[in-house]
Amino acid sequence: MGQIHMRLLLLFLFLSASVPAVALQQPDLPTLQRAFSQGKYPQALQVGRLLLQKSPNDTQVLLLTGATCIELARLLTDDVARLEAHKEALGYFKRYEILKPDHGDTRVHQSLARCYLVTKTKTEAMRHARTAVQLDPNSAMAQRLLGEAYAMMGNPDKALSALKKAQRLDPGNAEYIEAVQIQLHAMRRFGETLVFIEEHRSKILPDNQNQYLLHWVLHVTHLALNNIEESHKAILKAREKNPGRSLLLSPLADSHYRIGDHEGAEKWADAALAHPRTTPIAKAAASRTKGQIRMHQGNYEEAKRLLESAIVVLNDDGPTTLALIATYRRLGEKELAKSLADKYRESLKEKP
């Protein structure tokens, strides 16, 4: 129930972002352009919507409002709100295509590809990503979208190739390194990820705001390789580079737990649970960590409460499930344990 409230709240904020009254009374294209370029996306979105009510076929406004939706989506932490933002953007870009079928603008195809990727419309995503690359083969973003489209189509080798090309085209951007890492991760080629990062990390300047991302990627990769000490060092470094990043709190808790520092784990889990921008998934992960600690402490009732709250969100998560089964067993609740084990056994069949 609490989760639904949170989503509705986010949607409400997204849809009704506050905008100065003057801008709403006299909406015009320069106001929209100014708000967009200043990163005031909620304001830009409101202005764009009003302009399109008056002139639904204004192609410039369509483009800018669509782009505003995508930028705004990047800032959202809620999956539902993000999906809605992309769906809205998709509407604007599709209308633009109808009005200007021969536009030949790679950015429009990139935007459409992105929207279709988010809405999981595979063939359309692939079609627009390919067109975007044909129009501008040297666009790193176009290559990246093509890579993501290949990944969605189940062609990991081609995906990797396109993502590596994107990274070569924009070597100083940590996001492209991360994209390659995600693909290698999906292909379970963890060792190769480390080599890749080592080869390319020097290209990310020390003062680059995405430096933390590199360490995050290292953390994830070392974790995949079960190098717990290295993964722990990496996430501490990521935290050092970007102390305000709430996304790191829950993984910090998990990392401390894995190295056996239950006190540290508890501290970071509490921080994650208290932070207003922690996502429901991250909160559940933090609850899991606390639940695992309680289980080891022999406080099975409290462990049960925490782990049961975690598993609502982390449905098929192995560590949560195993900890909860172990807790049920130790509480003598064998039927609950059995039912959970049976359910998890089914989900395991699908896991690599």
Q: Which residues make up the interface to other proteins (CB under 8 A)? A: 73-74, 77, 79, 82, 175, 178-179, 182, 185, 190-191, 195, 213, 216, 220, 223-229, 247, 250-251, 254, 257-260, 279, 281-282, 284-285, 288, 292, 296, 314, 316-323, 325-326, 329-330, 334, 337-338, 341, 344-345, 348, 351-352
Choice between 24 and 195, CB closer to other proteins: 195
Q: Rounded to the nearest whole angstrom, what is the least distance from the CB of residue 258 to other proteins in the complex?
A: 4
Calculate Rg over the CA atoms of the chain: 23
d(Cα 80, Cα 3) in Å, to the nearest integer?
Answer: 11
Q: Rounded to the nearest whole angstrom, what is the least distance from the CB of residue 191 to other proteins in the complex?
A: 6
H-helix segments, the chain? 2-15, 21-25, 29-37, 41-54, 59-75, 79-99, 106-118, 122-135, 140-152, 156-169, 174-186, 190-200, 211-224, 228-241, 249-258, 262-274, 280-297, 300-313, 318-330, 334-348
Choice between 20 and 191, CB closer to other proteins: 191
Q: Rounded to the nearest whole angstrom, what is the least distance from the CB of residue 279 to other proteins in the complex?
A: 7
Q: Rounded to the nearest whole angstrom, what is the least distance from the CB of residue 311 to other proteins in the complex?
A: 11
Choice between 104 and 260, CB closer to other proteins: 260
Question: What type of residue is 133?
Answer: V
Choice between 26 and 347, CB closer to other proteins: 347
Q: Rounded to the nearest whole angstrom, what is the least distance from the CB of residue 18 to other proteins in the complex?
A: 24
Location of structure tokens 């699908």? 350
Residue 221 and residue 204 in contact, taking contact as beta carbons nearer than 8 Å: no
- The sign one gets for the Cα dihedral 190, 194, 199, 202 is positive
3-state SS class at 330 = helix
d(Cα 266, Cα 287) in Å, to the nearest integer?
Answer: 10
Choice between 204 and 341, CB closer to other proteins: 341
Q: Rounded to the nearest whole angstrom, what is the least distance from the CB of residue 166 to other proteins in the complex?
A: 13
Choice between 130 and 185, CB closer to other proteins: 185
User: C-alpha distances in angstroms, 268 versus 88, 212, 256?
Assistant: 36, 18, 8
